[in-house]
Amino acid sequence: MKFMQKLQAAERLNDSLLCVGLDPDPARFPTHWKGDAGRIYDFCAAIVDATKDVVSAFKPQIAYFAAHRAEDQLEQLMAHIKRNAPHVPVILDAKRGDIGATAEQYAREAFDRYQADAVTLSPFMGRDSIEPYLRYPDKGAFLLCRTSNPGGDDWQMQRLADVPGQPRLFEHLARLAQGDWNLNGQLGLVVGATYPKEIERVRELAPDLPFLVPGIGAQGGDAAATVAAGWRKDAGTVIVSSSRAVLYAASGEDFAAAARRVAQATRDALRPVSPAASQAIPG
């Protein structure tokens, strides 16, 4: 099954637009595991098992594993998800961006080593830095477009004088991803929940692409505003990511049960405008 098909199937099956980000920080682990990087797999696997029926995707952030020399635990976690939640796609949050030959190796890392269904990429180096990932026809790639951090304004909001209409950089990228760059229908865009007006603008320019939307929960993005801006019936969907609010919902041995409660509440906050709801958002 191709990534986009798997994403749509998980969204329907679990009636969810929620993605749980797996950003394991041992300093914030439950009291009985606190500070123990050897428990990264155990912690993340417990979160996966507790939330696998209420999410449309999981999103492990590779730096949280690599910083603790825990790449082997990431491989173990990916295998665990494939065994225990095979219907849920996994987006490797790596934000890679490099020349073609190096990008080929990063693509092998994401798709062959870690068996991810999709990966996040930085498109700053242009189309040839994206193409190696698109040689995996069953996989997806999400390009950073309008990110949730304040510093995104430094580049993304700048106007391009040499492009007709002088679009802002994020607008130009959205057009490229919807058009010439998306040869096999594999691309999506990363747009931050903290900027719902920009999400709406990106949706105008890229009506068919899935959006990976970080920034709700701990970062303060509004769930309902996010989905209203980005989701369209029978067109582009949104994958709304929450990490810290779910992962660190409790510090006791009941941490996984607490994470499930927060994930369910977040899923329910998105449900009024989800594909399973009767009320569609006007396009």
Helix (H/G/I), strand (E/B), else coil: 168:
strand
Q: Residues near 143 by Cβ (< 8 Å), separated by ≥ 6?
A: 120, 121, 122, 123, 130, 173, 177, 187, 188, 189, 190
Residues in a beta bridge with 120: 142
The residue written with tokens 């580049």 in the block is 155
Verify whether residue 95 is a known catalytic residue.
Answer: yes
Q: Which of 2, 6, 59, 95 is catalytic?
A: 95
Of 226, 228, 230, 258, nearest in space to 245 by CA? 258
26, 39 Cβ separation under 8 angstroms? yes
122, 152 Cβ separation under 8 angstroms? no
Beta strands 140-146 and 57-60 are unpaired
215, 148 Cβ separation under 8 angstroms? yes
Packing angle of the helix pair 196-205, 223-230 (nearest 10 deg): 20
- State the Cα angle at 151 between 221 and 263, rounded to 5°: 25
- Alpha-carbon torsion (67, 68, 71, 77), positive or negative: negative
221, 148 Cβ separation under 8 angstroms? yes
126, 105 Cβ separation under 8 angstroms? no
H or E element in which residue 213 lies: strand 211-213
Q: Which residues are catalytic?
A: 95
